[in-house]
Amino acid sequence: MTDNIQDMIASKAEELFNVCDKEQKGFIIKKDMQRLRDDLGVEPEQLEDVFDSLDIDHNGFLTLEEFTSGFGMFLGNQMKCSNDDEQEFVGHEVDEKEEEKQVFQDALETLGAKNLYDDEETIMGLWMKLRETDPTLLRQFEQFIGKVTEEIKRSKSDHRSIEAALQSKSNVYNDEIKKLYDEMEQQIKTEKAKVLEEEKLKEREIREQMEKELRIKEQQLADITKSQKELELKLLHTNLNEAETKNDNDRLQKEKIQLEQQLQQIIQDLEDSKQYISQLQIQTKREKRDRAKQTLSLTENLAIERENLVKELDTLKTLNKRLVDERDMHHSASSQGRDLSPTHHTLRRQGSVLSDYFTSPHRGDSEPEVDDDVVLPSDNDADSKQNQGLGRRQQPLGASSVLQHSELMNVPQNAVPDRVYKVAFIGDSGVGKTSIIQRFCTDSFREAFSATIGIDLQAKMLNIDNRIIALQLWDTAGQERFRSITKQYFRKSDGIILVYDVTSETTFRNVRAWMTSIQESTTEDCVIALVGNKIDLCNDDERRPVKYKDGTKLADEYGCLFFECSARLGTSVIEIMEAMTRLMQEKDDQLRNSGNTIDVTSKTKKSSCC
């Protein structure tokens, strides 16, 4: 029976400990002890006093063993004493209970615990049971009650002290709160006044803005009303015109149908026209092909005729050369006893050596075409000048004396040329090609020449670095009707000098057409020079129709030499021929070094017959 009671007490103590230790920490603290308040029916202060009495080592927590051995043992003893008391109190009288109650009250008063506990009946019952059953335990129980009483009193004293401190702090806190509240009230009043002022200002601004917007809206409303009236008026006119428009649409629809019918008819006619045009195109192509064949045949005949004329010209020049040599020998023998002054002869009309082979439209009663700056020497003069490079130079009749030049002109008598180059002069009529050749060959200038007809030829020899170079200068006609013949003569030229008039924009514009002909008819080895003549007629370059920079730009475009000269004054004429000769000689040297050696004798024979 006792073992069962002990087990029940241990189980009860463990149950109470688990109630306190809900977190399953394995120990409880003073705060956890408050969870037994409802189960035991005691005040929180009393539970704290019990905790302090059970915490013997004063470490601030109770383990399960400490809780069971202390408080659990107390409960077990209490239960045991209670059972014994029940058996004993059955036979006692009521007066004994009163006496024991008085003794218990005296004991509580002695311990100073009177009126301290709310449930004195439970403690008294336990005390009576211990007194009857085990006086030794009664003494321990009284000591325990005394300790608990002291703890409760001390706790109450501490509680009163804490309450006093809390009350003091509460008073200070209330004072601070009141002060902060007063300051906050003052700040709120200040901010409220400030906000009210700002709100009033904003309200005034918003009111002004709204009034302004209201005026704008009223103006817009007036405009909209006006526009509405105008639109209503337009709508009225539109409604009035709708009927007319409908009638017009009906009429236009009918016209559309008629036009579509006409269009179909036109399309049909167009198809018929296309078929007819196709037939015409086929017929035209056939006719063009026939004309091309006829033109080709005519061109071949002209080429054959030209070759025959060239051969005849070569024969005539050979005969003319022999006659000139005989005339020079006769003239030299007969002039020994005469005066040394030259005899002037009447000037004759000059023309090309091929002029007899072409029909000139200027012959007859009309005067010959005159070029202000183009001069053609006679056949005799041309042949004599061609002979100057091979024998003694003679002064032509009617010409001024030949001036002495630099070492370029210092050619020994009877010198045999090392090389012979063919140079063709091309350009529009009247630019001064003949005058440049005349100035270079005879150092003379004539004011009037008749236009060159066909081709003319003169020769001149130069001394370039102690090498005798013979230049065949081919003077070509600039008129359009001689262009086909002119192209044939500069096709195999070693050098081409394209001349224009610096005072004539037309001759400068035609340079591009001449350049195109050159590119089509010559090879890459041909030396090309662009020459602007008659610079003596306008000394101011800015006032000239064709400026120096224009010529330079065009020459750079075609990659050729560029010069400006004056045949009248002789400016830069020799420099042009020297530069051309040196460049032709340089290209000839390159060809010789590359293995393309040209025999001088064979080239001379070729050049003599164009």
Q: Residue 359 and residue 481: Cα distance in Å, rounded?
A: 11
The average confidence (pLDDT) of the chain is 75
- Residue 340 is assigned to a structural domain of this protein: no
Number of domains in the chain: 2
CATH number of the structural domain spanning residue 104:
1.10.238.10
More confident residue, 227 or 483: 227
Residues contacting residue 43 through CB under 8 Å, at least 6 positions apart: 37, 118
Q: Looking at the predicted structure, is the pLDDT value of residue 90 above 90?
A: no
Residue 171 lies in a domain: no
* Residues 6 or more apart whose Cβ sits within 8 Å of residue 247: none
Question: Is the residue at 531 inside a domain?
Answer: yes
Q: Does residue 359 sit within a domain?
A: no
Task: Tell me the pLDDT tens digit for each residue of 253-297.
Answer: 999 999 999 999 999 989 988 998 988 889 888 887 887 777 767
pLDDT digits (tens, 9 = 90+) for 369-381: 333 333 333 333 4
Residue 256 lies in a domain: no
- The whole-number average pLDDT for the span 204-216 is 92
Whether residue 77 contacts residue 40, with contact meaning beta carbons closer than 8 Å, is answered with no
pLDDT of residue 599: 44
CA angle 159–163–169, rounded 5-degree value: 145
**Residue 468 pLDDT > 80:** yes
CB 475 within 8 A of CB 493: no
Domain boundary among 133, 151, 185: 133
DSSP track, 324-377: HHHHHHHHHHHTSSS-SSPPP--------TTGGGS--TT-SSSPPPEETT----
Predicted pLDDT of residue 605: 39
Q: Radius of gyration (Cα) for the chain, nearest Å?
A: 73
Assigned domain for 360 exists: no
The tens digit of pLDDT for each residue in 405-456 reads: 557 777 777 778 888 899 999 998 888 889 999 988 988 888 766 677 667 8
**Strand runs (DSSP E) across 391-525, as ranges?**
419-426, 449-450, 455-464, 467-476, 495-501
Q: What is the pLDDT of residue 318?
A: 79
Q: 385 pLDDT band (50/70/90 cuts)?
A: very low
Q: Which of 395-399, 514-518, 537-541, 548-552 has the lowest mean pLDDT?
A: 395-399
Bridge partners (DSSP) of residue 306 are: none
Range 240-257 average pLDDT: 89
| 401 pLDDT more than 50 | no
What's the mean pLDDT in 561-582? Answer: 92
Nearest CA among 420, 413, 419 for reference residue 390? 413
User: Can you tell me the distance from the alpha carbon of 155 to that of 46, in angstroms, rounded to the nearest whole number?
Assistant: 9
Domain's final residue, options 90, 108, 133: 133
Its domain, for residue 94, covers 2-133
Asked if the structure places residue 138 within a domain, the reply is no
Q: pLDDT-based confidence at 581, cuts 50/70/90? A: very high
Read off the pLDDT of residues 129-159 as tens digits, 9 standing for 90 and up. Answer: 777 776 667 777 777 777 777 777 777 788 8
**107, 133, 159 - which closes a domain:** 133
Residue 316 lies in a domain: no
Whichever domain contains 593, its CATH number is: 3.40.50.300
pLDDT at 125: 74
- In this structure, of 9-13, 28-32, 58-62, 363-367, the range with the lowest mean pLDDT score is 363-367
Query: Residue 6 — very low, low, confident or very high, per pLDDT cuts 50/70/90?
Result: low
Contact 493, 478 (CB under 8 A): no
More confident residue, 262 or 80: 262
